Structure 1
């Protein structure tokens, strides 16, 4: 019986180690928020980065969870998920530096594309990248709530975590 518990625990840790996610962190004049999509996977379990094959990740906007039903619904409405159900993250270029990796990443949503230079590091077999972006990069006006008393700030912090073999 102890063996089964250990095996189950190992499988759970392994499954968690393979989890991919994209987090979008933002704030208002009152609070902070975080919306996460962790419902996507690589074809073979891990993302590969070779000259001939770089990832093209398709995220369902409705798979983002902001930890609060109302915030999640508002987030999906801001990104117009009914008309534009997908957000795409496409790696255009990927190079190794002495201490990290640099990538050109194209983010496409709501028929708008924007390219960003993103620095990635390897942490626990995961490729972790962070980039500051803005709603306005995609022609989105940050929303206001309660008659303008709550204002969402334009600045967002995008975090990528991808299981990989590099």
Structure 2
């Protein structure tokens, strides 16, 4: 099985919420060196995301997000595919996410939607020893739960 993912339309989206509202931070500035991500038994992608390239749609929120992830000290978030297996119409991958020198492995189910490889996984700030921030003297509390969405444009 060989699967190719092209550079355009790639994104990683992190959805979270507070006790007041929801937030969404997206990084769509990354691409493979060759222009195409390849998924074969011998070659699985390593995706390096620059934390400062996440955009939360609001300058203050984007700055807070980058500060939470300590982007000055840890500028990259690395998503490494450990394995990738076809299961019926979908794919199952073991994905290692490395953030702030903490690594965590997740089983992620991917499906093909409109020529894109889409994967979704619930993760937690606490998986990476990050304490969810509080704002305005604790009146606004960020919840520990995050929804991570991967989208890689594919050519199968």
Q: Which structure shows the higher strand fraction? A: 2
Q: 1:42 & 1:125 partners in 2: Cα distance?
A: 17
What is the aligned partner in structure 2 of residue 104 from structure 1? 94
Instruction: State the 1:31 CA deviation.
Output: 0.3
Q: 1:159 & 1:44 partners in 2: Cα distance?
A: 23
What is the aligned partner in structure 2 of residue 70 from structure 1? 60
What is the aligned partner in structure 2 of residue 146 from structure 1? 136
Instruction: State the 1:43 CA deviation.
Output: 2.4
Instruction: State the 1:120 CA deviation.
Output: 0.1
Q: Who wins on radius of gyration, i.e. which is larger? A: 1
Q: Which structure shows the higher helix fraction? A: 1
Q: 1:112 & 1:105 partners in 2: Cα distance?
A: 14
Instruction: State the 1:98 CA deviation.
Output: 0.6
Aligned length: 150
Which residue of 110, 126, 129 corresponds with 1:136? 126
Instruction: State the 1:47 CA deviation.
Output: 1.5
Instruction: State the 1:164 CA deviation.
Output: 2.0
What is the aligned partner in structure 2 of residue 11 from structure 1? none
Q: 2:56 & 2:102 partners in 1: Cα distance?
A: 23
Alignment pair present for 1:46 and 2:51: no
Map 1:1-166 → 2, pairs under 5 A: 18-166=8-156
- C-alpha contact (below 8 Å) 1:48/1:165 kept by paired residues: no
Unaligned segments of structure 1, at least 5 residues: 1-16
Instruction: State the 1:163 CA deviation.
Output: 1.4
Runs of 4+ in 1 over 2 A off after TM superposition: 43-46
Q: Which secondary structure does the structure 2 equivalent of 1:103 belong to?
A: strand
Unaligned segments of structure 2, at least 5 residues: 1-6
Q: Which moved more, 1:117-126 or 1:43-52?
A: 43-52
